Amino acid sequence: MALNTNQTKGEGTMSNQTIPSKTINILIWIAQVVVAIFFLMAGTSHLMMPLEKLATTAPWTKDVSLPLVRFIGFWELLGGIGLLLPSLLRIKPQLSYWAAIGLATIMLFAMVFHISRGEGAMIGIHFVLLFLAGFTAWGRRKKAIILPRSA
């Protein structure tokens, strides 16, 4: 049985090329949307909600200054927007990569913060979000790059 020239170079056939790339692209979009929704919601609550009400859902907020809570909320909201809009609009889509890196960094710092306070049980969601943001960054940089809209 003769091999297709493309197969010997590791490129595979057309059907082998499109299915994995579509699958990985869909998985990256799912991760991207999940992370964006989480940070859009978290950022909005950290920015808008009164501190007393916020402390009922995020107990750590009662032990830090209000400006710090608002600062974190601002960057969470901006990261959530940056994760989606550039990719959806295809205007500077590489910004979604940088937003994913920024959000992964926020999660890394959040894990360190909660561990230092003896709140190790809280880091599960942070780890999941760190993984999903990292997966999104990797995917948008290496596997399913979104090209800018042509002028």
- Number of neighbouring beta carbons within 10 Å of residue 54: 20
In contact, 27 and 78? CB cutoff 8 Å: no
User: Which is nearest to 99 in space by CA: 49, 31, 150?
Assistant: 31
pLDDT tens per residue across span 20-45: 588 899 999 999 999 999 999 999 99
- Number of neighbouring beta carbons within 10 Å of residue 46: 23
In contact, 94 and 86? CB cutoff 8 Å: yes
pLDDT tens per residue across span 58-107: 888 888 899 999 999 999 999 999 999 999 999 999 999 999 999 999 99
Least confident of 12-16, 62-66, 76-80, 139-143: 12-16
Confidence label for 151 from pLDDT (cuts 50, 70 and 90): low
| pTM for this predicted structure | 0.81
Q: Which helix (H) or strand (E) holds 99?
A: helix 94-116
